[in-house]
A = this chain, B = another copy of it.
């Protein structure tokens, strides 16, 4: 039997794609779903503006079904809000008091696919730079293994999700109870070298370029801003609700 105290530590892993989630899943892990540009940033913003529940759905068929039943629905594919729906995945779309107390269905290119991949995990929470400190502080109280699940872009690695994962890994690695898996270690190093200027590292990254072309530079800037809310959205029986 190993006597290495490292073996008793809680593993923090980064999974860079929803498609790899089955490889990383472990019983009792907390999964933090990350889609910085822009689903998880939009979801955090919606809760900050008082939405009561959100229903994440992976398919547009499901989104259309909810729409036909009279639900408010946000739908995005390939960076664009889809016509005929109430919202896209721009956080700015959710900055309105009219969503207070409402239930909103949301379906996006990447983020809701990641939520779907992880939905059977013991606990699934929504992370973004907008609730960064709240997520980190809460994780440290849980004494559980952590999987930082990057939504990526169509199952590919993307830079901004990895940077956020690295920011969280960096925080957790300061706590004595955690050890970082290789992807978390890499994410932490990436974050540390980006720390002085995340814009520099995102320069040339695919999704930032994609959103810039779509005229969404304000969204990019907002999604990289820290701690706009203390709310942690959490998945309960298929609904995202405010934790606590």
In the complex, which residues 6-21 of chain A have their Cβ closer than 8 Å to any Cβ of chain B?
6, 13-14, 16-17, 19-20
Q: What is the chain B residue whose CB lies nearest that of A173?
A: B204
Residues of B within 8 Å of A192, CB to CB, are 193
| B186 contacts A207, C-beta separation under 8 Å | no
| B186 contacts A159, C-beta separation under 8 Å | yes
| A182 contacts B155, C-beta separation under 8 Å | no
Residues of B within 8 Å of A183, CB to CB, are 16, 156-157
| A157 contacts B17, C-beta separation under 8 Å | no
- The yes or no answer to A1 lying at the interface (CB within 8 A) is no
| B20 contacts A155, C-beta separation under 8 Å | yes
Contact of A182 among B14, B23, B159 (CB under 8 A): B159
Residues of B within 8 Å of A190, CB to CB, are 186, 189-190
- The yes or no answer to A241 lying at the interface (CB within 8 A) is no
Residues of B within 8 Å of A225, CB to CB, are none
In the complex, which residues 161-215 of chain A have their Cβ closer than 8 Å to any Cβ of chain B?
162, 179-183, 185-186, 189-190, 192-194, 201, 204-207, 209
A contact set with B: CB distance below 8 Å:
6, 13-14, 16-17, 19-20, 23-24, 153-159, 162, 179-183, 185-186, 189-190, 192-194, 201, 204-207, 209
